[in-house]
Amino acid sequence: MQKRISFPGDAGAPPFYPGSIVMISAVDGRGRADICTVGAWSLVNGAPRLFGIAMCARSSGTSYWKRYTTTCIEETGEFVINIPDVTLQRAWELCGSVSLAQQPDVDKFELAGLTAVRAARVGAPLIDECPVNIECRVHSRLTLPTHDWIVGEPVAFHTAAALANEEKTFDWERAPRWRD
Ligand SMILES: Cc1cc2nc3c(=O)[nH]c(=O)nc-3n(C[C@H](O)[C@H](O)[C@H](O)COP(=O)(O)O)c2cc1C
């Protein structure tokens, strides 16, 4: 495989995300919903299961400013990890390029043609079109130079019925060592 080498700071150095893209939904203290596309996220602990998301939390240069979704998570202590499928590329591009921090009057759900559905245990809405939704409460937070690594403890999982019927689907609810 032919590869191109680049170093941090090189013009055109490609962004790298350690996993697939997720869409984080959250509400602010007044109940206003936001969606932020996040490429830097991961399952980070086994028991209890914990998920980390890297949320930009302060300004640096032109690319980094505090995401309004970060403010929402701070104000409520809750968020939802929505895992999209490939049909939602346009939606995650929109939610990843329009910021309520700069355009406070935008309704991201309407903009991206997405449907907000009431969650089971958190105030943030689920994105109905995403086949997997993980409702989380904030467990802990690590402050880094531009982003904060926000760790969430899941309180409810939603999996599309079509996925749940797949042979290889991981059954989160019956996962071994759950809450050991
Ligand atoms: C593919 C992709 C991945 C992104 N990953 C992250 C990320 O990991 N963390 C982050 O803070 N912003 C990330 N962003 C940028 C935010 O999604 C973007 O700034 C968004 O407009 C913030 O919206 P908000 O301010 O309304 O929350 C990503 C954008 C795209 C398109």
Q: pLDDT (tens digit, 9 = 90+) per residue, 62-91?
A: 889 999 999 999 999 999 999 999 899 999
- What pLDDT shows up at residue 12? 72
Tokens (6 digits) for 175: 């996962």
Ligand 1 pocket, residue 40 CB under 6 Å = yes
- What pLDDT shows up at residue 178? 42
According to DSSP, the residues that pair with 56 across neighbouring strands are 147
Residue 87 contacts by C-beta under 8 Å, 6 or more apart in sequence? 129
- What pLDDT shows up at residue 74? 98
- What pLDDT shows up at residue 165? 61
Ligand 1 pocket, residue 25 CB under 6 Å = no
Domain definitions of the chain by residue range: 22-169
- Nearest atom (ligand 1) to Cα of 41: 8
Tokens (6 digits) for 164: 């749940």
- What pLDDT shows up at residue 50? 96
| Separation of alpha carbons 49 and 45, rounded Å | 5
- Single pTM value for the model: 0.88
- What pLDDT shows up at residue 161? 78
- What pLDDT shows up at residue 3? 75
End-to-end CA distance of the chain: 44
- Write out the DSSP string of 45-59: ETTTTEEEEEEE-S-
Q: How far is the CA of 31 from the centre of ligand 1 (A)?
A: 20
Domain 22-169, CATH among 2.30.110.10, 3.40.50.300, 1.10.3720.10, 3.40.50.2300: 2.30.110.10
Q: Over 60: is that where the pLDDT of 170 sits?
A: no
CA nearest neighbour of 54 among 86, 15, 103: 15
